[in-house]
Amino acid sequence: MSAKKRVLSAIQPTGEIHFGNYFGAVQNWVKLQEDYDCVYGVVDYHAMTMPFQPNKLRENTWSLMFNLVALGVKPENLFIQSLVPEHAELNWIFNCFCSYGRLQLMTQFKDKSQQSETKSDGFISVGLFDYPVLQAADILIYKADFVPVGKDQDQHLELTRMIANRFNLQVDKDYFVLPKTLHSDAPKIRSLADPTRKMSKSAGEKHYLSVFEEEKRLRKKVMSAVTDSGEMIGTEEMSEGVKNLFTIIKACGHTDVHDDFMTRYKDGSIRYGDFKGAAYEALLSLNSKFRENKEEVMANKKEIKYQIKNSSAEIRKIAQQTIKEVKDLTGLMNVKF
């Protein structure tokens, strides 16, 4: 057994990764691999909770896997949720340790069910309602100590601890570890085209920068970033657009450039054209590396698929052990009785 603490996180297979996702989550996943025993899932069962296309789901799952590997997540730390069906089994058991009233309070459910009501045919699945319980199973099945997620997931983590606690009380044993949320000081990146909103795919092509963005397009998007008319230069104030570019330059690790432009902002000599150019250079330094990695990954697709299937099988062993113990503790049947 390794003495390292375990980290678990997961992401839904919904296509591309933009720089907001990268700085907000994936970069942290990559770093945590140095000090923790990390388990990262692409959660395709979760992706079925909203309208989805069966012929796209598998494709999206693989494409997200390739992207994560190109960004530096180690294949041995990755698994595909549906290759570990024990998640769904534990989900059922946890359904019986979670109150209906408590689930009704989940804000992500309220938001998403409202979206369904307005956007599609109004169909809201039981799966969407039960989503947080499956998430609790994702986390507890690996007895994770830490879960790196955004603040929007705090409520789901609280629910996870409640389920663990109720289970422990019922079986009269401190069986499940109560997982802690890991909030990194990850910078929040905004849309370049409209810095009042966060970078997101749902707002449209202009509003996000893919980590693998083609060079010319990257340049175009960054050079046309919204700033301001320059009235605030030299004052204590800063527009969201300018703040966002500073955040981006810093997040890319170009601290000297960041500090230099900050001095120029304060003494009034900054020129936004140059400033955007610096943001572009900073992003390009990451982006060109990512594109290079991606090319290599795509040239070894078969090998990587094979690795992910193997790592899923390895990670599944942990989940199977937990299920065995949970069945023992709750009076369900194991093969040997």
- Active-site hit among 198, 243, 250, 305: 198
- The label of the residue with tokens 């893919």 reads 210
Nearest partner of 199 among 215, 222, 220, judged by Cα: 222
Other Cβ atoms less than 10 A from the Cβ of 223: the count is: 13
- By beta-carbon proximity to ligand TRP, the closer residue of 112 and 166 is 112
Residues 104 and 217: their CA atoms lie apart, in Å, by 43
Nearest partner of 43 among 24, 68, 72, 74, judged by Cα: 68
336 counts as catalytic: no
- By beta-carbon proximity to ligand TRP, the closer residue of 25 and 211 is 25
CB of 259 to ligand TRP, least distance (A): 33
Residues 263 and 160: their CA atoms lie apart, in Å, by 46
Other Cβ atoms less than 10 A from the Cβ of 315: the count is: 22
Q: Are 95 and 133 in contact (CB under 8 A)?
A: yes
Q: Which helix (H) or strand (E) holds 315?
A: helix 301-330
The string of DSSP letters for 67-133 reads HHHHTT--GGGEEEGGG-THHHHHHHHHHTTS-HHHHTT-HHHHHHHHHHHHHSSS---HHHHHHHH
220 counts as catalytic: no
- By beta-carbon proximity to ligand TRP, the closer residue of 9 and 210 is 9
CB of 260 to ligand TRP, least distance (A): 36
| Count of helix runs (H) and strand runs (E) in the chain | 14, 5
- Active-site hit among 112, 188, 305, 324: 112
CB of 75 to ligand TRP, least distance (A): 19
- Binding residues for ligand TRP, rule: CB under 6 A, are 8-10, 12, 43, 46, 135, 138-139, 147, 149, 153
CB of 141 to ligand TRP, least distance (A): 10
- By beta-carbon proximity to ligand TRP, the closer residue of 12 and 239 is 12
- Active-site hit among 201, 243, 289, 327: 201
CB of 147 to ligand TRP, least distance (A): 5
CB of 13 to ligand TRP, least distance (A): 11
- By beta-carbon proximity to ligand TRP, the closer residue of 33 and 293 is 33
309 counts as catalytic: no
When CB distances to ligand TRP are compared, the closest residue is 10
- By beta-carbon proximity to ligand TRP, the closer residue of 77 and 153 is 153
Residues 239 and 243: their CA atoms lie apart, in Å, by 6
Kindly report the three-state secondary structure assignment for every residue of 134-192: HHHHHHHCCCCCEEECCHHHHHHHHHHHHHHHHHHHHHCCCCCCCCEEECCCCCCCECC
Hey, which residues are catalytic here?
112, 198, 201
